[in-house]
Structure formats: C-alpha cells, structure tokens
Amino acid sequence: MSAGLSHITFICTDLDRMQTVLEQVLEARCVYASGDAQYSLSEERFLMVGDVWIAIMKGEALRERTYNHVAFKVDEDAFDARVARIEALGLEMRPPRPRVEGEGRSVYFHSPDGHLLELHTGTLGERLARYAKGREGVA
C-alpha cells in the first residue's frame, strides 16, 4: 500500500501566472524556485498548500480540457471569498454539476493552462453518509 500522496505537478506555460493563481486562490506559499539551477525536465517551482506539495513546471498548455481534476478542501466560511478571488483573477469557472444536499459545496475552475481545479467544502465521510441515504434531494 502507498503511504499517501507525495506531490501534484502541473505543466504551465507561465510559472508566474500559475504561482499567482495558487497563491491567491489556494493561499499557497512558494518554497522553491529553480531559476537557472535546473534539476528536472524544465524550470520548476514548489509550493505548499497546507501539507500538499504542488510542483509547477514550465511546458506546453494542455491541448484539451477534461473533467480530470484536483480538489482542494476549503472551509465553508471561506468558500465565497475564494470564489471571489477566482473571479478577480478572471479564471473560467465551469457550471456546477448536480449535487445532493449534504455533500458539500464546490466550484470548478480552469487554470490559465487548462488544468481543472476544484474547491470543495465537504469531506469523504460526509459524502458517503449522504449517499447512503439514497437519491432524495438531488439538485
């Protein structure tokens, strides 16, 4: 069995722009920038979002968008302010998907290079408990 998540890497055309998105929306903090000291495939930066290590590397944008995404936990009381930050950065948000009451709130948005990110207020335990109740209350 794996010990858990090590890191998430996003390939980006503009590292400054992606770093701004991560800092503004996720309150990430940059802990490393390779600059001219390239140790990997391209210039890279490491940021921390809570205990999650996010690597961003210089490269080509995604060619197409999919529903593949990474979801980040946010507190309910911070949700609306985070959505306002996404809007202030001019990032494209996807229309919400149908939800059942009690599984948490979400907003899905695309990074400048097409990566789909989600902010979510719920937990796995809350979602499983809600799904166990059945299909009543589908919105």
Residue 2 lies inside a defined structural domain of this protein: no
Q: What is the pLDDT of residues 59-98, one digit of tens each?
A: 999 999 999 999 999 999 999 999 999 999 999 999 887 7
Q: At a CB cut-off of 8 Å and minimum separation 6, what does 39 contact?
A: none
Residue 29 lies inside a defined structural domain of this protein: yes
Provide Rg for the chain, Cα atoms: 16
AA letter at 49:
V
- Domain span at 33: 7-132
Q: What is the pLDDT of residues 17-59, one digit of tens each?
A: 999 999 999 999 999 999 888 889 999 999 999 999 999 999 9
Of 23, 27, 43, 44, the active-site residue reads 44
Two tokens, residue 99? 């939800």
Q: How many angstroms separate the CA atoms of 28 and 48, rounded?
A: 5
- 44 has catalytic annotation: yes
Q: Report yes or no: 29 and 23 within 8 Å, Cβ to Cβ.
A: yes
Total domains in the chain come to 1
Of 93, 97, 98, 96, nearest in space to 117 by CA: 93
Residue 65 lies inside a defined structural domain of this protein: yes
Residue 68 lies inside a defined structural domain of this protein: yes
Residue 1 lies inside a defined structural domain of this protein: no
Residue 138 lies inside a defined structural domain of this protein: no
